[in-house]
Structure formats: structure tokens, C-alpha cells
């Protein structure tokens, strides 16, 4: 086990105090601490100053704090496989003793709030100013969770404290205390790093380990309704008008691929004719992006039976409740893997459930993306779903390398058929 002790090696009046780190016989490192002392005031046996006056008492406190911090950093570095040597020890001493004074703005929660306050003026893609309400809400949620983490740990954290140990402690807290889903935890870690990177740009000192901190995502099953399942729902008749109304919203949602926040507020005014083509036009609340979607025959059928009007508006919560009833009554009961929200704990429980239990409003957008992937060019789908990149879109629908291989094989097969049908010109010699 490593031991840390302060020593002096001189009898001069102003003797340097060294910090000695002993790992084993072959690994003993000594470096100056930048503190000096008169050897007459030094207790060699205890490796500390005699406590004869306030100045010597303060020196002892400073040395104790230094040794404690070095021990913490040593344990963190060992857990990460970092090589421990004299250079490492000197870097630790320099960093601890020469770090700049912390200010209120350096506090993690204070800077987090400052970051949130600046979001309305943040310039994002294509020169657009400000972020969506949903994005701002996410940062506020994470800030509240960090405040709860500090209360749990009984400690205030500064931007510079965000190191690998902080990351690991925060993940443990999210998993064991908050009981968050793995992907929520991984996403929150990414947000914390984003805020710390901005603090660095603003001149606030960050930890050297910040670049090593990574968020993560874990593969989960993507729940969507296939065309066959949508057909079963279409054919089902419900005695309750509320379910028939919600069913029509569901079918429309699965053929226009919009978030529930944009779907349930559509009215007749969103339908326009451009160049003879009937379109649903809207501005997405989350992204601010303008989207135009050709009206699919399934959607047109619903509008026709409702005198060109959309179904009656309802809340997202009511829509979610009705969707489960609709899917259950339509026989969407096969067992699948997924996460089911526990109403008491407000946390998801992962396991195998009948599919209708996992149906929620988000299934509209994912069903559109999943069902039409491979049928419609991906670029066109992304334009409608408003994902930032193709990778983000493919992750969203959960496509695997096997899916890509099947799609490519299908493409090659179609190309081969086209090649066979291609007319071949032959030179015909005129008979004499």
C-alpha cells in the first residue's frame, strides 16, 4: 500500500519540505512542496511541524491537505491505469498548490445556471438564435439533479472538480439513487461535459481529465407499429368515440412522422396546395424547422370522412392513455422487450411485456421512420423527421449492419433486373 509523508533533508535554516510517495521498495518518489521550515521546528518522527505557534499550525494544516489531495489523486490515477512516477507527483503538487482561487462563478451549479440563462442567445445551426423550449428544459432538469447530487454527497462541486471520479460518482448516484435508465444517465453526462467545455472557453479552469469524460448510449429495442399492425388497428371498430378519434390521430401520425407536440395541434389551416400538390405544412416546435409533407392516401381517407378536418384536438396525456386501449383492443398483444413506466416510482422497468403496454405517442414518428426506411430515400425521410444527421436517424430507428446489408443486396438485385431489361441494339446486315 502506498504511503505519503512529508520530510526535510537539510539542516539549513530554510529547509525545503519534500513530499515522499512510497509505493514499494523500487518505487519511491520525492518532490519539493514549495514550503520551507527551520529544522528546529520540524518533528522528524511525525513528519510534521511542531505546533508551537499559529504559523506552524497553519503549515501543518496546509501539508495535511496537500497529502490528502495527493492520496485522492493517486487512487483515481491507479483506477484509470495512469503511470505513477516522479513527473506525475510533481504535476500533482504544482496543480494543487498553484491552482487559481475559486470564485462563485466557478461553482458547477452557478455556471450551469449561467449557461441556461445564455441559451436564448445561443447561436445554433444555420445562424439561428436560441434553442427550443425542450432543450432548455433538459438543461434545467440536469441542473436540478446536480443540486440533488450535491445535497446527497454533502459537498459543493466546482467546474475543476469535474473529473473521472466525479463522473463515476454521478453515474452511481443516477443509477442507485435516482434509478435512471442507462441512456438517460449517459446523456446527462454528455450535457455536463458540454457545460464544462463552455466554461473552459469562458476562461474558467477545468480539470485535466475533462477530455476523458465520455457519455454513452446502450442499445434498446425500438418499439414501432408495422404496416400489418396499423392495418389491424384501422380495421378495429371501437364503441367509444374518444378511441375512434385517437385512432385517426394515430394513423395520421404514422404517415406524417411528426412529434406529438406538432401532430395534435394540426388544423385545416395546415393544409395547402403547392404546384397542384396537397401538402400538410407546419413549423416544428422543437426545431423551428418548416416541414411540408405530401398527404398520404391513408391520411386523405381520414380527412375525407371528417369533411376535410383533422380529428378533435386532445392532450398528449389523453392520447397516450387512449393508444394503449386501442392497441390492446386491436390485438397488438405479442410479447416484446421494452421499458414500461412505473406510475409510482416514475421510472422505467425493463423486461418483456405485451406490446400494447409499451405503445405511447412517440410511436407515431418512429413507426413512420421505420416503416418507410428502405422504401423512401433516407434523405427525404430525414427532411420530414428533422433528424440532424443520417447516423442520428439510423440510431433512432435502431438499424443494424445486417439491415444495411439487406438493403444493399435488395438494391443490387433491383439493379440487376434493370440491366436485364435494358434494350440491346444490334447491327442487322441488309440481305443482298
251 has a pLDDT exceeding 80: yes
Q: Which residues of 369-398 are buried (b: 16+ CB within 10 A; e: fewer)?
A: bbbbbbeeebeebbebbbbeeeeebbebbb
25 has a pLDDT exceeding 80: yes
Instruction: Identify the pLDDT of residue 247.
Output: 95
Q: How far apart, in whole angstroms, are the C-alpha atoms of residue 397 and residue 128?
A: 27
Instruction: Identify the pLDDT of residue 303.
Output: 95
What whole-number percentage of the chain has pLDDT above 70? 86
Query: Could you tell me the pLDDT band of residue 101, with boundaries at 50, 70 and 90?
Result: low
Contact 47, 6 (CB under 8 A): yes
Instruction: Identify the pLDDT of residue 402.
Output: 56
Torsion angles phi and psi, residue 273, rounded to 5: -110, 120
Q: How far apart, in whole angstroms, are the C-alpha atoms of residue 368 and residue 257?
A: 5
Place of cell 446523456: 187
Query: Could you tell me the pLDDT band of residue 269, with boundaries at 50, 70 and 90?
Result: very high
Instruction: Identify the pLDDT of residue 415.
Output: 62
Q: How far is CA 141 from CA 169, 342, 347, in A?
A: 18, 20, 15
Record the cell numbers describing residue 430, joined without a space.
441488309
Query: Could you tell me the pLDDT band of residue 343, with boundaries at 50, 70 and 90?
Result: confident
Instruction: Identify the pLDDT of residue 99.
Output: 59
Query: Could you tell me the pLDDT band of residue 250, with boundaries at 50, 70 and 90?
Result: very high
Instruction: Identify the pLDDT of residue 422.
Output: 57
Instruction: Identify the pLDDT of residue 346.
Output: 66
Place of cell 521546528: 41
Place of cell 380529428: 311
Record the cell numbers describing residue 254, joined without a space.
404514422
Instruction: Report yes or no on whether pTM surpasses 0.75.
Output: no
Instruction: Identify the pLDDT of residue 411.
Output: 56
Bigger pLDDT: 135 or 187? 187
Bigger pLDDT: 383 or 363? 363
3-state secondary structure of 148: helix
- Of 166-170, 206-210, 342-346, the range with the lowest mean pLDDT is 342-346
Determine the distance from the C-alpha atom of residue 269 to the mean position of all C-alpha atoms in its chain, rounded to a whole number.
Answer: 36
Q: If 0-12 CB within 10 Å is exposed, 13-18 middle and 19+ buried, where does residue 117 land?
A: exposed
427 has a pLDDT exceeding 70: no
Residue 249: its H or E element: helix 241-256
Contact 204, 106 (CB under 8 A): yes
Query: Could you tell me the pLDDT band of residue 322, with boundaries at 50, 70 and 90?
Result: very high
The mean pLDDT of the chain is 86
Instruction: Identify the pLDDT of residue 266.
Output: 94
Residue from 338, 347, 172, 332 nearest 254 by CA: 332
Instruction: Identify the pLDDT of residue 4.
Output: 94
In which region does residue 126 sit, left (phi positive, over 0), alpha (psi from -120 to 50) or beta (all else)?
left
Instruction: Identify the pLDDT of residue 332.
Output: 93
- Of 138-142, 378-382, 401-405, 412-416, the range with the lowest mean pLDDT is 401-405
Amino acid at each position: 500500500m502506498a504511503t505519503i509523508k512529508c520530510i526535510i533533508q537539510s539542516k539549513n535554516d530554510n529547509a525545503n519540505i519534500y513530499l515522499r510517495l512510497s509505493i514499494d521498495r523500487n518505487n519511491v518518489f520525492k518532490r519539493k512542496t514549495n514550503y520551507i521550515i527551520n529544522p528546529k521546528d520540524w518533528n522528524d518522527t511525525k513528519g510534521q511541524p511542531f505546533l508551537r505557534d499559529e504559523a506552524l499550525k497553519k503549515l501543518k494544516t496546509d501539508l495535511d491537505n496537500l497529502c490528502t489531495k495527493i492520496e485522492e489523486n493517486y487512487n483515481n490515477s491507479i483506477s484509470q491505469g495512469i503511470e505513477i512516477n516522479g513527473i506525475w507527483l510533481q504535476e500533482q503538487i504544482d496543480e494543487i498548490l498553484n491552482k487559481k482561487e475559486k470564485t462563485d462563478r466557478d461553482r458547477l451549479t452557478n455556471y450551469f445556471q449561467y449557461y441556461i440563462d445564455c441559451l436564448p442567445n445561443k447561436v445554433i445551426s444555420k445562424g439561428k438564435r436560441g434553442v427550443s423550449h425542450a432543450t432548455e428544459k433538459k438543461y434545467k432538469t440536469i441542473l436540478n439533479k446536480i443540486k440533488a447530487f450535491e445535497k446527497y454527497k454533502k459537498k459543493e462541486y466546482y467546474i475543476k472538480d469535474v473529473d473521472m471520479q466525479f463522473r463515476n460518482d454521478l453515474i452511481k448516484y443516477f443509477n442507485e439513487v435516482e434509478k435512471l435508465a442507462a441512456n438517460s444517465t449517459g446523456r446527462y453526462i454528455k450535457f455536463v461535459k458540454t457545460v464544462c467545455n463552455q466554461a473552459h472557453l469562458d476562461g474558467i479552469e477545468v480539470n485535466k481529465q475533462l477530455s476523458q469524460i465520455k457519455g454513452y448510449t446502450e442499445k434498446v429495442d425500438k418499439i414501432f407499429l408495422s404496416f400489418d399492425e396499423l392495418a389491424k388497428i384501422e380495421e378495429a371498430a371501437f364503441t367509444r368515440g374518444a378511441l375512434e378519434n385517437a385512432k385517426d390521430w394515430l394513423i395520421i401520425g404514422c404517415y406524417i412522422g411528426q412529434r406529438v407536440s406538432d401532430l395534435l395541434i394540426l388544423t385545416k389551416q395546415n393544409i395547402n396546395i403547392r404546384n397542384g400538390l396537397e401538402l400538410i405544412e407546419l413549423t416544428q416546435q422543437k426545431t423551428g424547422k418548416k416541414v411540408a409533407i405530401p398527404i398520404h392516401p391513408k391520411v386523405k381517407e381520414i380527412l375525407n370522412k371528417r369533411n376535410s378536418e383533422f380529428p378533435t384536438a386532445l392532450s398528449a396525456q389523453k392520447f397516450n392513455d387512449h393508444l394503449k386501449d386501442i392497441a390492446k383492443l386491436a390485438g397488438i398483444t405479442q410479447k416484446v422487450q421494452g421499458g414500461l413506466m412505473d406510475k409510482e416510482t416514475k421510472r422505467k422497468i425493463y423486461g418483456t411485456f405485451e406490446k400494447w403496454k409499451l405503445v405511447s405517442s412517440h410511436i407515431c414518428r418512429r413507426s413512420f421512420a421505420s416503416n418507410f426506411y428502405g422504401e423512401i430515400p433516407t434523405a427525404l425521410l430525414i427532411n420530414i423527421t428533422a433528424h440532424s444527421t443520417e447516423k442520428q436517424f439510423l440510431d433512432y430507428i435502431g438499424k443494424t449492419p445486417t439491415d444495411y446489408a439487406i438493403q444493399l443486396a435488395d438494391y443490387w438485385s433491383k439493379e440487376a433486373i434493370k440491366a436485364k431489361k435494358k434494350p440491346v441494339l444490334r447491327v442487322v446486315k441488309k440481305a443482298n
